[in-house]
Structure 1
Amino acid sequence: MRNYTAPFGYKYDMGKIVVDPHDCAVVKYIFELGSQGISLSRIGSLVAEKYSGIVFNKCKVSRILKDTRYLGQGIYERIIEETLFNKVADMQNGSSTKKSGYERAEVLRIKVPVVCPLCHLKMRRLHDTRNKCTERWKCMNPECNCSIDYADDDMIGELRAIVSNLKNLRIECHEDTVRRSIETARLESDIKAKLQSELFDIEQLRGEIIDLASRKYIDITDIGANQQRIADDIKFSDIADNYIEFINNNALSIDIESDRSITIVLKDGTKHRRTSTYGNSVVREREESNTYSSNQKFG
C-alpha cells in the first residue's frame, strides 16, 4: 500500500524515498499532456481513462505540474527533465494570466463549420450555466438533434495540439502547382506596376486582368494550389500561436466524433486528428472524393 507522505510518483522503500515505477509513468504522462496545452480538467479525465483507479481533479493535476521535486531535488530522484518542466510551466503561467473568457472567445473566432458525427451537417455551440459542462455542441438538423458536451478549453486544447503538430509533417507539392503560383504572382506584380506607371494599353491590360482572375480561380479550386498554401503557412507562419487563423484560412470543417475526438479537414482534402493523447501523433488521410463542399455537406 502506498505511503501517502511521499509525493505522488515516489514511495518509501526500507525508509528511503525511491521512484514508484507505476506512479512515475503517470507523472510523465501528465507532463506530456500538459506540454500539449491540454486543460487541467481534461488531463484528469485522460489519466482516469488510461490508468484505472487514479482519479485526479484539476487542482491535483496543477499541483503535480508545479512540483519541483520531480526535477530531482534533494532526496528525490529526477522524474521530469527540466526542459519539459519549464515548457509546461510557461504554458500554465500563460494560461493563468488570461481572463476566464479567453477559451470561449477563441472558440467564437472559429469560422469553419463544426460537423455532426451522425448526419454530417453543421453544429452550433450552446452555453448553459445550469449544466455541469456549460458548453455543448448541438446539431442544427432538427431530424438529428445530436448533442455533445464539449468544454471550450478542451476543444481549444485539441485544436491547438493538432495544428501545432502539423509542423512535423512534410508536405510535398507538385512542381506544376509551384510553377503556376509563381506565374500568377508575377502576372499580378506586372499588372500593379502598369497601373502605377499609368502607361499601358487598356485592351492589353484588360486581357491580363482576365487572365489573372482565371488563374486565381484555378488556384482556389485546385487541390495542389491549396496544398501549396497550406505548406507555406506551416513553413513560414507561427501556426502554434496562430492556430485559429490557420484553421480559418485552410480548413473545410472541424469534425467532432461521438467519443469527442476531433478531426480537422483541410482544403487539400487531408484529414488530421490526434490518434493518441500520449505523444500527440497526427494522421494524414486524403479525401479522394473531396466531398466536403458547402452545398453537399453543410446545407
Structure 2
Amino acid sequence: MVTTVPTGTLNWDVPLNAALTDLQGQITNKRLDQLVAPTASVGAGGQKIINLANGAAANDAAAFGQIPVAGTAAGTYAAGNDSRITNALPSNGGAMSGTYSGNPNFSGVPSFAQSLRVGTASTLGDNGVGEIQLADAATVPTTNPSGGSVIYSQSAAGVPLRMRDVSGNVRGLVPARALSAAAETNSTTTQQASTSLTIPVEAGATYQMFAFLVVQTPSGVSFTHSFTGPSGATMVWGDNTATFVATITGVDTWSGSGANKAVTLHGTLITAATAGNLVVTFATATAGQTATLGASSWIRLDRIK
C-alpha cells in the first residue's frame, strides 16, 4: 500500500467546528433584503409569513386584512367575486370607492355615497350625488329571466326605460309623452298630422294610450280628429263622452262653439311587425273654417307588453 504524506504546514489552531459555527452566524445574521434575490419560486414549507405590511404597489404582496373575503356578513363579498375588484374595504360598514369591472357580487346592503354607474365607466350626467346612471343595453334582452325582472335602457326609443319579466312581457317603466308647446291650425277637411303630438312606437308591442286635446272651431263648425300609426297597427279608442272608435284611423267629432274644449282620450294600441310613430291628426269639418289644436295638448303611451 502506498501512502501519500501531505507536505507543508497544517494549522490546527482553528477547530473545524468553530469555523462552521462562524459561517452559520454570518448566514443567520443576514436580513432577507441582504441576500441575493431568488431566481425561482420560494416555498415557505407550509408556514405563514407574519407581520406583513399592507401592500401599496401593484406588485406588492397583500396583507390578509386587505383582501375581500367570502362570507355572508355585511361588508363582505360572496365567493366567486371578480378578482379585479379594487379599492374596497371588506369590513362591516367599510367604504367602497373606485371603478369596478366584471360582475361584482355584493352581499349585505351596499351603500353608495355618491352616484352609481351601470354599464359604463364614464359619467353619463353631471356626476352629482344620488344618481343612478344606466347605460343603454348593448343588446336588447330577448331571453326571459328565470326569476325576478331585467331592467334596461334604450334611450333612442320612445319608451327608454324598460323591464322584461319571466313571461316575456316588456313594460315601460317611464311613459312616453309628447306635449304641444304651440297651437296648430288646419283649414281643410283632410286630416293633418300634428307636428308635436307624435311618439315613436316599436314593432310587436302593446301600449295604453292616453291623450288630452285642446280643440277649437268656430260656432257651428265641427272639429274632427284621428290617428295614424305604423303599418299593421291596430287601436281601439274612445273619448270622455263614451264614444267608441274601432280603428286607428277612425274619426271623432266635436261641435264648435268658438271657445276651447277639453277632450280626453284613451285606448289600446297594438303594433305588428313594423315600427313607426303614433301621430294625432286633426281637421275642420267645413272647408275654409279653421280648426285649432291648442297648446298644452299632450299624448302619452305606456308600454304594457
TM range, smaller chain: under 0.3
User: Which structure is larger by alpha-carbon Rg, 1 or 2?
Assistant: 2
Q: Give the structure-1-normalised TM-score.
A: 0.19
Q: Give the structure-2-normalised TM-score.
A: 0.19
Bigger share in helix: 1
